[in-house]
Amino acid sequence: MKTVSDDLFRLIKSLNKSEKGYFKKFAAKNATGGKQNYIFLFDAIDAMNEYDEELLKKKLKDPSLLKQLPVYKVYLFNLILKTLNLYGAYDNSESQLNELLANIRILTSKHHYREARKVIKKAKEMAYKFDKHKFMMELLSAERHILMLSPVKNITEKRLALYEEQQDLLDRMKEFYDVSLLCDRMTILVDNEADFRSNEKSAQVEEIMTSSILNPGQKLTGYYAQMNYYHTHLIYSGSKGDNIEILKNLKQQIAYDEANRHFIEENPQNYVYALINLLLYSHYAKDNHEIERTLVKLEAVKKKMKGKIARENEIQIMFHASNVEMIIFEKTCDLVSGRAKAKQIEEDFRTYGNEVPFHVKALMLLNLACFNIIDENYPAAIKYLNTILNTQELSIRTDVNKIARILQLVIHYEMKNFDLLEYLQVAAKKFLGAKLSKFEQVLMKFFGSIIKHPAEKHPAIFDELTFALKRAQDSNGILNYFDFLSWAKAHAEGKKLIEVLKENLKEIKMTQN
């Protein structure tokens, strides 16, 4: 059960360096009574990696502070929120609109209607510019209120015009809620449940895409409605493994963002995610020109991003970018850069701990495991897989868990743990159930039989596996995570996996030339 202590700990750990500094200055000037106690309590909690009440009490030696600790914690929590409301980094459109609304209320209460109308006009321009429906509603309501309090010439025409504006806003809001529902349904089916390939779930995915609001080339009224439109198409194309459509969709989204640059300046998160994904899929497409252009854009926006978005979003973006880098290093067989990146990711895990979202962490651990298999660092690979399989919170990604169980078999074969392999194959088969692709069926049958044969016969069995995998349909897309085909080929030919992967790269380059 969450407590004030848990909430206070998470709030303090979510602050960046400049926010913490601002809080201490604010608390020193404005906290009522025991100012130093609040700062001391703040520092004591901030120094913890995990909240520990008993350890905190040992650090807080002041009897008066200990006696009233629950009260101090509640006050500190509220004081931090008050500080953040005043902090300059949060001077975005919403904070400005809240201030303008407060001014409108004051002016209206003092019967300064002419001045209030001027503020309403300014606020409406900002609300429409930044697609803020809630503020638009409040501002139209305030405008109507003043109109009825202070009748003007042509009041009926003005009231009808206001009514039309209210109707337009309702249409705009309906558009947003309609497309955001479709986007959320698609996300739940594909990203969260990750089991969308059953006939029932697949039919639901296709049914979502039949909505007219998702027609190709659709131009929606609001920015956030358009973002949900792009995101829905992106997830759908990803579920189909259609990299061409993914690239097309990402470029459209980025162009739309760049045409509405004020949204990037206020909250660059959507834009950064799109750039990171474009970097990855441009790499898949071997489009070096697009890779260079995207890297330049990413570096430029990173400098402007600091302090502009919430810490949790910064963490997600950081790990998403790291994930893409690991995939690129793996696909290009750049083991040196991959090792350095893996080391940095380990440091980041230690630094940010439980702040890393579980679905992001699960995918990151899987990619680290795949890289270490290629690098023949099997103890590291099994450590990452065990973390996925033995941590309940990481089970949120069922697709990751399925692949982790198959990769377990790969690693234990490499480590020659054949007794354990037999047990793991049975357990994996039971976990995977009946919904296996032809590709997965071939792999599970292979692991069930390989342990029954002497080592000298293994190359021939791997050769048969290579042939069978080439013919099998990978409808669940597990080759996107690990190249099982090249792994089988390597053993069939008595080579290292990295050698076969490098040979594949050379063949691709020769084909392109």
Tens digits of residue pLDDT in 112-124: 999 999 999 999 9
Confidence (pLDDT) at 462: 95
| Last residue within a domain, chosen from 50, 75, 90 | 90
Confidence (pTM)? 0.71
Confidence of residue 357 (pLDDT cuts 50, 70, 90): confident
Q: Name the one residue in this structure whose structure tokens are 């596996």.
A: 465
How far is C-alpha 167 from the geometric centre of its chain's CA atoms?
35
Confidence (pLDDT) at 1: 40
- Position 305 pLDDT exceeds 80: no
Q: 286: alpha, beta or left, given left = phi > 0 and alpha = psi -120 to 50?
A: left
Q: pLDDT tens, 213-253?
A: 999 888 899 999 999 999 999 999 988 878 899 999 999 99
CA distances for 387 relative to 343, 363, 366, 367, angstroms = 17, 12, 10, 13
| 76 touches 84 (CB < 8 A) | no
Percent of the chain with pLDDT over 90: 47
DSSP letters spanning 184-219: HHHHIIIIIS--TTSHHHHHHHHHHHTSGGG-TT--
Q: pLDDT tens, 158-168?
A: 999 999 999 99
Does 17 fall in a domain?
A: yes
Positive/negative CA dihedral, 356, 360, 365, 368: negative
Count of structural domains within the chain: 2
Q: pLDDT tens, 107-150?
A: 999 999 999 999 999 999 999 999 999 999 999 999 999 999 98
How far is C-alpha 142 from the geometric centre of its chain's CA atoms?
38
Confidence (pLDDT) at 465: 94
Q: What is the domain extent for residue 254?
A: 242-309
- Position 376 pLDDT exceeds 70: yes
| 466 touches 492 (CB < 8 A) | yes
Confidence (pLDDT) at 496: 95
- Least confident range from 144-148, 240-244, 439-443, 464-468: namely 240-244
Does 278 fall in a domain?
A: yes
Average pLDDT over residues 173-191: 93
| 189 touches 196 (CB < 8 A) | yes
Positive/negative CA dihedral, 162, 165, 167, 170: negative
Confidence of residue 467 (pLDDT cuts 50, 70, 90): very high
Confidence (pLDDT) at 229: 97
- Position 34 pLDDT exceeds 70: no
Confidence (pLDDT) at 2: 47
Confidence of residue 53 (pLDDT cuts 50, 70, 90): confident
Does 293 fall in a domain?
A: yes
Most confident of 36-40, 60-64, 225-229, 265-269: 225-229
Confidence of residue 344 (pLDDT cuts 50, 70, 90): very high
Confidence (pLDDT) at 3: 52
Does 202 fall in a domain?
A: no
Q: pLDDT tens, 251-282?
A: 999 999 999 999 998 888 889 889 989 988 88
Does 129 fall in a domain?
A: no
Confidence (pLDDT) at 436: 80
Q: Is residue 369 helix, strand or coil?
A: helix
Does 398 fall in a domain?
A: no
Does 329 fall in a domain?
A: no
Does 51 fall in a domain?
A: yes
- Angle among Cα 63, 66, 71 to the nearest 5 degrees reads 130
Most confident of 93-97, 214-218, 370-374: 370-374
- Compare 239 and 335 and report the one with higher pLDDT: 335
Confidence (pLDDT) at 31: 62
102-131: buried (b, 16+ CB within 10 Å) or exposed (e) per residue? ebbeebbeeeebeebbebbebbbebbbebb
Mean pLDDT of the chain: 87
- Position 346 pLDDT exceeds 70: yes
| Last residue within a domain, chosen from 283, 309, 335 | 309
- Position 342 pLDDT exceeds 70: yes
Confidence (pLDDT) at 227: 95
- Least confident range from 11-15, 198-202, 417-421: namely 198-202
Q: 387: closest CA among 417, 359, 413, 366?
A: 366
What is the 8-class DSSP label of residue 486? H
| Last residue within a domain, chosen from 37, 55, 90 | 90
Average pLDDT over residues 183-187: 94
